[in-house]
Amino acid sequence: MTVDVEQVPVGFNEGRRIVLRENARLLNAVAADEWNEAGSLIRSARAVFAIGGGRSGLAIQMAAMRLMHLGLRVHVAGEVTAPALGSGDVLIAVSGSGTSDVVVRAADTANKVGASVLAVTTAPESPLAQRARAVLVLPAAHKQDHSAEITLQYAGSLFEQSVLLAFDALFQALWSSADQSAERLWERHANIG
């Protein structure tokens, strides 16, 4: 059944219910063991690099900041201070479709230099997933799926939100086993700019 969301008036309260309900359903459907394994891969990396385009890129940048707070060496790909990716590193590559050119090319580079690719996508059979050591599937709609079968939200909103929320959950898990106080993490928080 296709629902034309524009024909259904929604106030803020209903909008909030939609966003919360869809995110709760999605996060409860992810494979927790796979996320725990991803946490181990991230924790053991020489350095962690994060890449994604558009809003997905913004969500993974927020996750990168939290990983930095844990004391990990973290870089956002494309930033002028990001060093070369190398052997022993992990590239967290985020693309809902798994076909974003810049993200797939980054995965190719990672494989060429001996880094591990951790793909985050809705598409487990995508080109990005095929290049990954580990694939974290977030079962959100592809941004061009306007059927409203998986989400009533626009474009890739559910995927982008779930990237942020799933990585915040992973951060909580990693922090709980890191024996570091909130004060210690805060010392690493940016204090200029």
In a domain, 193, yes or no: no
- Quote the Cα angle for 86-171-132, to 5°: 40
SS3 for 153?
Answer: coil
157 lies in which domain range?
Answer: 10-186
In a domain, 104, yes or no: yes
Which CATH number goes with the domain that contains 175?
A: 3.40.50.10490
Active site residue 183: no
The two structure tokens encoding residue 120: 């985050």
In a domain, 4, yes or no: no
In a domain, 137, yes or no: yes
- CA nearest neighbour of 165 among 145, 132, 140: 140
Q: Identify the pLDDT of residue 7.
A: 55
Q: Is 114 exposed, middle or buried (0-12, 13-18, 19+ CB in 10 A)?
A: exposed
Q: What is the pLDDT along the chain (193 residues), one digit of tens a residue?
A: 455 555 567 899 999 999 999 999 999 999 999 999 999 999 999 999 999 999 999 999 999 999 999 999 999 999 999 999 999 999 999 999 999 999 999 999 999 999 999 999 999 999 999 999 999 999 998 888 888 899 999 989 999 999 999 999 999 999 998 889 999 999 999 999 8
Tens digit of pLDDT for each residue in 44-57?
Answer: 999 999 999 999 99
Q: Identify the pLDDT of residue 113.
A: 98
In a domain, 83, yes or no: yes
In a domain, 1, yes or no: no
State how far the Cα of 61 lies from the Cα of 138, in Å rounded to an integer. Answer: 17
Q: In the chain, how many domains are there?
A: 1
In a domain, 5, yes or no: no
**Selected catalytic residue, list 37, 149, 160, 183:** 160
State how far the Cα of 4 lies from the Cα of 152, in Å rounded to an integer. Answer: 9
Q: Is 148 exposed, middle or buried (0-12, 13-18, 19+ CB in 10 A)?
A: middle
State how far the Cα of 70 lies from the Cα of 64, in Å rounded to an integer. Answer: 10
- CA nearest neighbour of 151 among 141, 160, 161: 141
The two structure tokens encoding residue 152: 């009533």
